[in-house]
């Protein structure tokens, strides 16, 4: 009789433990994801600090110029193309909306402020991420899985100084310049659609830009560009550098997944940081 009671109690306790585990499983998953994210955030912060500390070492200038050409100069064609049509769409939509209220004279200011404060830095960063960021993550990932980064350490060459620092410095230089190009070409695209195609007065377009656009607006746009540069360069280099430590794959597949993660995570962080920086600047 006592044995039957003990067995019954054990079964009840087992069912209770099972029920508690089932109830706590979603919270455990969330907790694991939070811990995973915090660990990687801390590792990325240390990674960025170590890279920045190596930027001003000797013989870095030539490597930085090489990366500025790769990240900046080779991205300018896609930046011009995207910015031209973005400005043309903005000019067309702004004229269509404002003409209903008799405020078509504000088309120039609307187009220019939209580009300078928001669309210019954000779309520039996303375009560079798609073109250069993915290539950076893939290149560093291949160097990692082929053990070339380990070979650099064996030859007493600091991989952070040789591979990572020039790319982060080049991104910090290239992003604001390409953002400025995006803004200028986009404003010209708005002029083409609003003035040349729709028929808005040319003087009204340029006058509204001169009156409403201030140096503070331009400065805010450049601040965002620098923030995006640090985020994109750090994420892409970090994903490629630690591609061999991924749990979901190994070898060449890990490089592909690291590249995908770098692009997706960079785009998400660009949008999140855009909100944060905007809330701080307003």
Q: For residue 13, give its domain range.
A: 1-52
Please check the confidence at residue 24 and state whether its pLDDT lies above 90: no
Taking residues 5-26, what's their average pLDDT? 57
145-160 per-position pLDDT tens digit = 988 888 888 888 888 9
Confidence of residue 101 (pLDDT cuts 50, 70, 90): confident
Task: Note whether 255 and 243 are within 8 A (CB).
Answer: yes
Taking residues 256-280, what's their average pLDDT? 93
Specify the pLDDT at position 5.
Answer: 46
72 and 33, same domain (yes or no)? no
Between 186 and 31, residue with greater pLDDT: 186
pTM, full prediction:
0.87
248-265 per-position pLDDT tens digit = 777 778 888 999 999 999
Task: Note whether 236 and 141 are within 8 A (CB).
Answer: no
30 and 166, same domain (yes or no)? no
97 and 31, same domain (yes or no)? no
Taking residues 196-223, what's their average pLDDT? 91
19 and 148, same domain (yes or no)? no
177 and 247, same domain (yes or no)? yes
28 and 124, same domain (yes or no)? no
Number of separate domains in the chain = 2
Specify the pLDDT at position 19.
Answer: 58
112 and 47, same domain (yes or no)? no
Please check the confidence at residue 2 and state whether its pLDDT lies above 60: no
**Mean pLDDT across the chain:** 87
120 and 252, same domain (yes or no)? yes
Please check the confidence at residue 31 and state whether its pLDDT lies above 80: no
Please check the confidence at residue 119 and state whether its pLDDT lies above 70: yes
Please check the confidence at residue 43 and state whether its pLDDT lies above 70: yes
Q: Give the whole-number percent of the chain exceeding pLDDT 70.
A: 90
Specify the pLDDT at position 79.
Answer: 95
Specify the pLDDT at position 220.
Answer: 93
């Amino acid at each position: 009789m006592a044995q039957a009671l003990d067995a019954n109690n054990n079964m009840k306790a087992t069912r209770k433990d099972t029920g508690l585990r089932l109830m706590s499983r979603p919270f455990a998953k969330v907790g694991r994801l939070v811990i995973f994210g915090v660990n990687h955030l801390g590792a990325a912060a240390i990674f960025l600090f170590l890279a920045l500390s190596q930027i001003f070492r000797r013989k870095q200038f030539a490597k930085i110029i090489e990366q500025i050409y790769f990240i900046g100069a080779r991205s300018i064609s896609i930046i011009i193309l995207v910015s031209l049509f973005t400005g043309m769409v903005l000019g067309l939509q702004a004229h269509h909306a404002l003409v209903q209220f008799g405020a078509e004279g504000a088309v120039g200011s609307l187009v220019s402020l939209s580009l300078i404060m928001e669309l210019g830095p954000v779309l520039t960063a996303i375009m560079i991420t798609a073109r250069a960021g993915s290539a950076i993550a893939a290149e560093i990932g291949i160097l990692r899985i082929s053990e070339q980064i380990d070979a650099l350490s064996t030859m007493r060459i600091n991989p952070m100084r040789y591979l990572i620092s020039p790319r982060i410095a080049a991104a910090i230089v290239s992003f604001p310049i390409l953002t400025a190009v995006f803004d200028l070409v986009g404003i010209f695209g708005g002029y083409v659609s609003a003035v040349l195609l729709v028929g808005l007065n040319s003087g009204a377009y340029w006058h509204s830009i001169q009156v409403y656009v201030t140096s503070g607006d331009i400065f805010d746009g450049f601040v965002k560009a620098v923030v995006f540069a640090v985020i994109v360069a750090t994420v892409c280099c970090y994903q490629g550098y630690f591609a061999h430590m991924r749990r979901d794959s190994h070898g060449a597949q890990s490089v592909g997944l690291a590249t995908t993660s770098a692009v997706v995570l960079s785009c998400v962080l660009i949008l999140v940081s855009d909100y944060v920086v905007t809330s701080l600047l307003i």
